[in-house]
Structure 1
Amino acid sequence: MKRQHSKNKTAYLFNVDILVEGETNAVALEKLLNVLNGGNFPDYRIVSGLEMGTLIANMRESAAEFRPIPVKVAAGNAAPPSGGTQAAKTKTDADQSRDPNGDPSINERIRRCIEAKRLIRLSVNKGYGIRLSIPCRILNFDETAQLLTVYHVDEKQVYAFNLYEIDEFSE
């Protein structure tokens, strides 16, 4: 706990862990931000967040079901040396994640924006003629549900959009 002095008030800095329940990570994060924004705190910082529950247990159980799939090498390509198999596999994965024009896939672009915490602008079509242009940072991307959770930097709100609602993605 650090003490900071101001005019008549003394400010204290606390490190806390808060468990927030919600249907999704985005909903739980939105609940937390609403509480923090409504609490008249001069400043706060959310350092990290993780999903609690049975996710790890489910992943361990499903890991036993996975089996390696043999990859056939094309007749024109020679088999890579045993030391280079990992590099060859990484290159193949990178090639598959690109579209025919050579650009990275949208999933890869989203992952890079999350890692770099890059400020982007999304053009979103909510339907019924409602279009939004949002300066934001991507917080989370659920590839299975195709759900993108973003933090609107102007409104200081968290929004969740389905990937099909996003018309444009500007970095």
Structure 2
Amino acid sequence: MQGHWFNVDIFMDGDNNAHALEELNRLLNAAGIKEYRVHSGGEPGTAAEAGKPDTRKEPAADKAEAPSALALEIERYKANNTLVRMTVVKGKGVKLDLPCRILNYDAATQNVSIYHVDEKKVYLFRINEIDDLHAG
């Protein structure tokens, strides 16, 4: 039996881009799709940004190099110097809601440095501490 590729645009609802991508991955995996690539993603009405393909059959070393949807979103906000609202979950479930600008994202260490616009301070968070991120 031969495999066949299809090029499809899919619109997903979600609280943010990362949550929508997670839901899409869950649906594709549950449907038994053997292999797929998510080339890009974005908010409605914006040009989708191209990223590295993300395939399920890539070796683990290659997959670690592919940027996540959240990493692409962070890079886009950083490049545009966009004011964002970031929700961070720290130890013991403490949630912080921060109006900020992204200063830097280090993919190797998974650290994000932000400038808190109200407190006029710089903070450093790990990407896995970010619960939500959106413009405005």
TM-score normalised by L of structure 2? 0.51
> Pick from 85, 106, 118: which aligns with 1:154?
118
- Letter of the 1:94 partner, please give it: G
Match of 1:57?
A: none
Tell me, in whole angstroms, the C-alpha distance in 2 between the residues paired with 1:170 and 1:164: 16
- Point out where structure 2 has 5 or more consecutive residues left out of the alignment: 6-38, 41-49, 56-67
- Letter of the 1:108 partner, please give it: L
Match of 1:121?
A: 85
> Pick from 48, 51, 54: which aligns with 1:94?
51
Identity of matched residues, %: 37
* C-alpha spacing 1:127/1:143, structure 2 compared with 1 (3 Å): same
Question: Aligned-pair distance for 1:129?
Answer: 3.1
- Letter of the 1:125 partner, please give it: V
* C-alpha spacing 1:97/1:112, structure 2 compared with 1 (3 Å): farther
Higher Rg: 1
Match of 2:72?
A: 108
Query: How many residues align structurally?
Result: 80
Residue 92 (structure 2) pairs with residue 135 (structure 1):
no
* C-alpha spacing 1:112/1:76, structure 2 compared with 1 (3 Å): same
Tell me, in whole angstroms, the C-alpha distance in 2 between the residues paired with 1:145 and 1:129: 22
Give the match's secondary structure for 2:95: strand
- Point out where structure 1 has 5 or more consecutive residues left out of the alignment: 1-74, 78-90, 99-103
Tell me, in whole angstroms, the C-alpha distance in 1 between the residues paired with 2:122 and 2:74: 17
Question: Aligned-pair distance for 1:118?
Answer: 0.1
Tell me, in whole angstroms, the C-alpha distance in 1 between the residues paired with 2:113 and 2:128: 13
Question: Aligned-pair distance for 1:76?
Answer: 6.7
- Aligned-residue Cα RMSD (Å) equals 2.8
Greater relative contact order (Cα < 8 A, sep 6+): 2
What stretches of structure 1 move > 6 A for 4+ residues in a row? none
* C-alpha spacing 1:76/1:131, structure 2 compared with 1 (3 Å): closer
TM-score normalised by L of structure 1? 0.41
Q: How does 1:53-64 map to 2 (within 5 A)?
A: none
- Letter of the 2:75 partner, please give it: R
Question: Aligned-pair distance for 1:94?
Answer: 3.2
